[in-house]
Every structure is written in C-alpha cells, then in structure tokens.
C-alpha cells in the first residue's frame, strides 16, 4: 500500500498529474492514494518534492535522491559504450565476485516491466555448471539427431544447426574442457526468466550493460536456451517455475581477449512517417 503523509503534503498535485492510472486524488485538500488501481510503479514516490509518499510493499531504502553528478551520463559516451560492447566467448579461469553478480541482477531488478508486474526472475548457475553443460549438450544432440533423421523441405534450414549440435556433442565427449563450445568454460551463467518475454528481454539488456561496466564479458547463448525448451531435467536442475519462460541465458566471465575498437554495422532501416 502507498501512503501520503498529510503533514508533509503541500498539495502541489504533481503526484496526481503524474499517476498513470489516476489512483491519486485530492481529499480534504491533500493528495490521497486510493490504492484501488495502483500499479505500485512508484512515480508518486519519485516526484514528490517533500518526500511525503512512502510504501510498505517495498523497501524504501532502495530510494535514492537525485544528484546530477551521480546520475547524469553523457549521451556520446553512452553511445560509444554501447558500440564498443562485444559478445565474449573467451574467458579467463577466474571466479566472479558475488557482489558483481548481485550488481548485474540489480540492473535487471530496476528495469521497467509492463504494468509494473516485476515478473522477472534470475537463476545464477555457478556450482552446477558441469551438470547443466552435460544436460544441455545431450539435449542439443538429441534435437540435432532428430532433425537430421527427419529432414523436410520446411526444416532444411535447421540442418546447419543440427549438424553443429551433433558435432559439438561428439567433441565435448572427447574433451569436455577443451571442446566446450556451449559455455566456453565460463565461470557463471545467469538465466533470465519471465512471464512476459519482453520484460525479461529488457532486463537482460540492462544487465548486459552492467556486465561491461564491471569489466566482465558475456554472450547470450541461444543454444542453451534451445536446450532448456521442454527439457524437464534442465528445468528441474535450475528450479525454474514452468509458468515462466526462459528469455535469456547470459554466459558471463572475465574476458580473455581485449578489443581495441568498435566494429562497423549496416545502416539502420528507418521509416520517417
């Protein structure tokens, strides 16, 4: 429940005007949250000039006062930061500090979600990486064999991937360390799940930026995500609620490679209407 301290309220109406669901009204010449259609988005907490709004639903210690020097980011620097980001598949044999993992998840936690559903969850795999890797390679090999044995004109485009999966599995069985073409011997994986896939994708994109800011590297493993699809063994290992969708599998570690410049991209396709 969101509450407004009437003694602190100066009736500026900023919270009323900014509430996206019109759940704040004037009562006895003071702002009052009806808590009927409230999304708990916190706009009222953020906009109140006198800090009159609070909630007992969330931890108010999360609230930070805006200071330009701590919050402002130069737009050109931000764009260059995004341009310089690379997918990393070559990692050092070095553990990631727990506080860095927690900071990455914080970036996801504070990412916007539709109707403020906050439905995104995170599974951090560190101790059971070998088990996950083994199950995933087996799952991909099984999918690959099925595709290769049942090719049709409609599934011909999958032949390339199916061939890779079966080959990777064979090489992995020969040398699980040298031939890890799935996780590349990374020390951690964060699996992002959500009821709404867009919410999970947005969270993962913000986490991606935090990964780079912390001096770490990551890549999104589409193959691992495919391996989890319908695989109860993997989902049980990860303790993932079957009502949630696996949206992103972020393989994370300290980069064992150093890039010196950005790379070119094709021009953006833009329709100005």
Token digits for 267?
């021009």
Structural fold of domain 74-273: NADH Oxidase (3.40.109)
CATH 3.40.109.10, the chain: domain bounds: 74-273
24 sits in which H/E element: strand 24-27
pTM of the model: 0.93
For residues 141 and 227, is the Cβ–Cβ distance under 8 A? no
- 80 vs 99: CA distance, rounded Å: 26
**SS3 at position 125:** strand
pLDDT in tens, 45-86: 999 999 999 999 999 999 999 999 999 999 999 999 999 999
Spell out the residues 6+ positions from residue 239 whose beta carbon is closer than 8 angstroms to its own: 123
Identify the CATH number of the domain defined by range 2-62.
3.30.70.20
The 8 Å CB, 24+ separation contacts for 8-13 are 8/50, 8/51, 8/52, 9/50, 9/52, 10/49, 10/50, 10/52, 12/49
CATH 3.30.70.20, the chain: domain bounds: 2-62
User: pLDDT exceeding 90 applies to what percent of the chain?
Assistant: 99
**CA angle 36-41-45, nearest 5°?**
95
């Amino acid at each position: 429940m969101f509450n407004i301290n009437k003694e602190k309220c100066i009736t500026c109406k900023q919270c009323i005007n900014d509430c996206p669901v019109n759940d704040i009204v004037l009562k006895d010449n003071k702002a009052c949250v009806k808590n009927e259609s409230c999304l708990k988005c916190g706009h009222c907490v953020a906009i109140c000039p006198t800090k009159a709004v609070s909630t007992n639903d969330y931890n108010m210690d999360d609230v930070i006062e805006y200071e330009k020097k701590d919050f402002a980011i130069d737009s050109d620097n931000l764009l260059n930061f995004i341009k310089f980001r690379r997918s990393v598949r070559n990692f050092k044999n070095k553990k990631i500090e727990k506080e860095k993992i927690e900071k990455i998840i914080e970036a996801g936690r504070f990412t916007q979600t539709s109707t403020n559903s906050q439905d995104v969850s995170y599974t951090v795999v560190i101790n059971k990486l070998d088990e996950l890797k083994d199950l995933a390679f087996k799952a991909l090999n099984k999918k690959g064999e099925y595709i290769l044995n049942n090719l049709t004109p409609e599934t011909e485009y999958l032949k390339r991937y199916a061939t890779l999966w079966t080959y990777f599995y064979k090489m992995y069985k020969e040398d699980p360390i040298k031939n890890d073409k799935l996780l590349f011997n990374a020390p951690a994986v964060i699996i992002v799940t959500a009821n709404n896939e867009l919410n999970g994708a947005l969270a993962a994109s913000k986490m991606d930026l935090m990964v780079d800011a912390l001096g770490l590297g990551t890549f999104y493993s589409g193959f691992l995500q495919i391996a989890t699809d319908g695989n109860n063994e993997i989902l049980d290992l990860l303790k993932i609620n079957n009502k949630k969708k696996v949206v992103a599998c972020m393989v994370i570690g300290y980069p064992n490679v150093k890039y010196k410049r950005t790379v070119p991209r094709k021009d953006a396709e833009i329709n100005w209407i």
